Amino acid sequence: MSRIMLGFLFTVVTVHANTALDRVQGSDTTGYTINRVQAQAWQVLERRHTSSPQQLVSNEPLASMPDLSGEWEIFEVEDNKRYKATIDKAGNGPYSQQGGRFTTTKYANRLWQGTWQQTGNDREGGFEVLLTEDGTQATGQWWYSRVGSQKNIPPREHGGTYQWKRLTPVPAIRAIP
Protein backbone atom coordinates (compact mmCIF):
# COMPACT_ATOMS: atom_id res chain seq x y z
CA MET A 1 0.00 0.00 0.00
CA SER A 2 1.17 3.48 -0.70
CA ARG A 3 1.99 5.93 2.10
CA ILE A 4 -0.95 8.10 1.07
CA MET A 5 -3.39 5.15 1.41
CA LEU A 6 -1.90 4.15 4.77
CA GLY A 7 -2.12 7.75 5.98
CA PHE A 8 -5.76 8.00 4.87
CA LEU A 9 -6.62 4.66 6.54
CA PHE A 10 -4.94 5.78 9.78
CA THR A 11 -6.92 9.06 9.73
CA VAL A 12 -10.24 7.23 9.18
CA VAL A 13 -9.53 4.74 11.99
CA THR A 14 -8.45 7.54 14.36
CA VAL A 15 -11.57 9.63 13.65
CA HIS A 16 -13.80 6.56 14.06
CA ALA A 17 -12.10 5.60 17.35
CA ASN A 18 -12.35 9.15 18.71
CA THR A 19 -16.04 9.33 17.75
CA ALA A 20 -16.71 5.99 19.46
CA LEU A 21 -14.84 7.17 22.57
CA ASP A 22 -16.81 10.43 22.59
CA ARG A 23 -20.05 8.45 22.39
CA VAL A 24 -19.06 6.27 25.35
CA GLN A 25 -18.24 9.39 27.33
CA GLY A 26 -21.61 10.96 26.57
CA SER A 27 -21.15 13.34 23.63
CA ASP A 28 -20.40 13.16 19.97
CA THR A 29 -18.11 15.23 17.77
CA THR A 30 -20.98 17.57 16.83
CA GLY A 31 -21.54 18.73 20.42
CA TYR A 32 -24.66 16.70 21.16
CA THR A 33 -25.31 15.00 24.48
CA ILE A 34 -26.37 11.39 24.34
CA ASN A 35 -28.71 10.26 27.12
CA ARG A 36 -28.74 6.50 27.56
CA VAL A 37 -29.60 3.62 29.84
CA GLN A 38 -27.38 0.64 30.52
CA ALA A 39 -28.82 -2.77 29.74
CA GLN A 40 -26.67 -5.38 27.99
CA ALA A 41 -25.08 -2.54 25.99
CA TRP A 42 -25.49 1.23 25.95
CA GLN A 43 -28.54 2.30 23.97
CA VAL A 44 -29.09 5.80 22.65
CA LEU A 45 -32.50 6.93 23.91
CA GLU A 46 -32.40 10.63 23.18
CA ARG A 47 -30.05 12.96 21.35
CA ARG A 48 -30.28 16.70 21.89
CA HIS A 49 -27.92 19.67 21.69
CA THR A 50 -27.03 20.93 25.14
CA SER A 51 -24.17 22.24 27.17
CA SER A 52 -25.49 20.84 30.46
CA PRO A 53 -23.91 17.77 32.06
CA GLN A 54 -24.96 14.33 30.86
CA GLN A 55 -27.98 12.82 32.54
CA LEU A 56 -28.98 9.16 32.49
CA VAL A 57 -32.49 8.72 31.18
CA SER A 58 -34.49 5.52 31.50
CA ASN A 59 -37.87 4.60 30.18
CA GLU A 60 -37.91 1.30 32.07
CA PRO A 61 -38.82 0.79 35.76
CA LEU A 62 -36.02 0.03 38.21
CA ALA A 63 -35.39 -3.65 38.85
CA SER A 64 -37.58 -4.77 41.70
CA MET A 65 -35.61 -5.73 44.76
CA PRO A 66 -37.43 -7.19 47.71
CA ASP A 67 -37.08 -5.80 51.20
CA LEU A 68 -34.38 -8.07 52.65
CA SER A 69 -34.62 -6.60 56.14
CA GLY A 70 -34.94 -8.73 59.21
CA GLU A 71 -33.09 -11.17 61.37
CA TRP A 72 -31.57 -14.12 59.52
CA GLU A 73 -30.00 -17.35 60.77
CA ILE A 74 -26.92 -18.22 58.73
CA PHE A 75 -25.83 -21.85 58.64
CA GLU A 76 -22.40 -22.79 57.25
CA VAL A 77 -23.02 -26.41 56.26
CA GLU A 78 -19.48 -27.82 56.15
CA ASP A 79 -18.47 -26.31 59.51
CA ASN A 80 -21.87 -26.91 61.15
CA LYS A 81 -21.71 -23.28 62.29
CA ARG A 82 -24.76 -21.08 62.97
CA TYR A 83 -24.93 -17.34 63.64
CA LYS A 84 -27.38 -14.49 63.25
CA ALA A 85 -27.41 -11.50 60.94
CA THR A 86 -29.46 -8.30 61.19
CA ILE A 87 -30.02 -7.16 57.62
CA ASP A 88 -31.48 -3.85 56.43
CA LYS A 89 -33.84 -3.35 53.48
CA ALA A 90 -30.96 -3.18 50.99
CA GLY A 91 -29.34 -6.39 52.25
CA ASN A 92 -26.57 -4.91 54.39
CA GLY A 93 -25.83 -5.42 58.05
CA PRO A 94 -23.82 -7.00 60.85
CA TYR A 95 -23.69 -10.64 61.84
CA SER A 96 -22.62 -12.27 65.10
CA GLN A 97 -19.64 -14.29 63.81
CA GLN A 98 -16.25 -12.58 64.42
CA GLY A 99 -17.65 -9.02 64.19
CA GLY A 100 -18.89 -9.72 60.68
CA ARG A 101 -20.76 -7.56 58.20
CA PHE A 102 -22.62 -8.38 54.96
CA THR A 103 -22.75 -5.88 52.09
CA THR A 104 -25.03 -6.53 49.12
CA THR A 105 -23.47 -5.70 45.76
CA LYS A 106 -26.14 -7.05 43.40
CA TYR A 107 -29.64 -8.50 43.44
CA ALA A 108 -31.43 -9.79 40.33
CA ASN A 109 -34.00 -12.54 39.76
CA ARG A 110 -33.74 -13.72 43.39
CA LEU A 111 -29.93 -14.07 43.08
CA TRP A 112 -28.43 -12.15 46.00
CA GLN A 113 -24.70 -11.38 45.76
CA GLY A 114 -22.35 -9.51 48.04
CA THR A 115 -19.31 -9.40 50.23
CA TRP A 116 -18.61 -10.21 53.86
CA GLN A 117 -15.96 -8.90 56.24
CA GLN A 118 -14.94 -10.24 59.66
CA THR A 119 -12.85 -7.86 61.75
CA GLY A 120 -12.54 -10.40 64.57
CA ASN A 121 -10.29 -12.70 62.55
CA ASP A 122 -9.20 -10.36 59.71
CA ARG A 123 -10.95 -12.14 56.84
CA GLU A 124 -13.21 -11.17 53.97
CA GLY A 125 -14.81 -12.70 50.93
CA GLY A 126 -17.91 -12.95 48.82
CA PHE A 127 -21.24 -14.73 48.80
CA GLU A 128 -24.01 -15.68 46.41
CA VAL A 129 -27.34 -17.10 47.50
CA LEU A 130 -30.62 -17.78 45.73
CA LEU A 131 -33.64 -16.48 47.63
CA THR A 132 -36.76 -18.64 47.67
CA GLU A 133 -39.82 -17.18 45.96
CA ASP A 134 -41.50 -16.50 49.30
CA GLY A 135 -38.37 -14.70 50.60
CA THR A 136 -38.00 -16.81 53.74
CA GLN A 137 -34.85 -18.78 52.87
CA ALA A 138 -31.78 -18.72 50.68
CA THR A 139 -29.11 -21.24 49.72
CA GLY A 140 -25.77 -20.74 48.06
CA GLN A 141 -22.09 -20.39 48.67
CA TRP A 142 -19.49 -18.21 50.35
CA TRP A 143 -15.77 -17.87 49.69
CA TYR A 144 -12.62 -16.15 50.89
CA SER A 145 -10.96 -13.29 49.02
CA ARG A 146 -8.53 -12.35 51.80
CA VAL A 147 -7.22 -13.92 55.01
CA GLY A 148 -4.92 -11.61 56.94
CA SER A 149 -2.28 -10.35 54.52
CA GLN A 150 -2.93 -13.12 51.97
CA LYS A 151 -4.86 -11.40 49.18
CA ASN A 152 -4.29 -13.67 46.18
CA ILE A 153 -7.03 -16.18 47.01
CA PRO A 154 -8.95 -17.10 43.84
CA PRO A 155 -12.68 -16.26 44.10
CA ARG A 156 -15.06 -19.15 44.81
CA GLU A 157 -12.20 -21.61 45.32
CA HIS A 158 -12.06 -21.79 49.13
CA GLY A 159 -15.24 -21.48 51.15
CA GLY A 160 -18.39 -23.43 51.69
CA THR A 161 -22.15 -23.73 51.48
CA TYR A 162 -24.67 -21.36 53.06
CA GLN A 163 -28.25 -21.93 54.15
CA TRP A 164 -30.04 -18.75 55.26
CA LYS A 165 -33.35 -18.71 57.12
CA ARG A 166 -35.33 -15.55 57.82
CA LEU A 167 -36.32 -15.49 61.50
CA THR A 168 -38.59 -12.45 61.26
CA PRO A 169 -41.67 -12.16 59.02
CA VAL A 170 -41.12 -11.02 55.43
CA PRO A 171 -41.93 -7.27 55.34
CA ALA A 172 -45.24 -6.49 53.68
CA ILE A 173 -45.10 -4.73 50.33
CA ARG A 174 -46.54 -1.24 50.63
CA ALA A 175 -48.39 0.34 47.76
CA ILE A 176 -46.98 3.63 46.47
CA PRO A 177 -49.64 6.35 46.84
Domain residue limits, the chain: 3-49, 70-166
Do 56 and 46 touch, CB atoms closer than 8 A? no
pLDDT per residue as tens digits for the range 2-39: 555 444 444 444 444 444 434 444 444 444 444 434 33
Q: Which fold has domain 70-166?
A: Lipocalin (2.40.128)
Question: What's the whole-model pTM score?
Answer: 0.63
Strand partners, 50: none
pLDDT per residue as tens digits for the range 34-71: 443 433 343 333 333 333 333 333 333 345 789 999 99
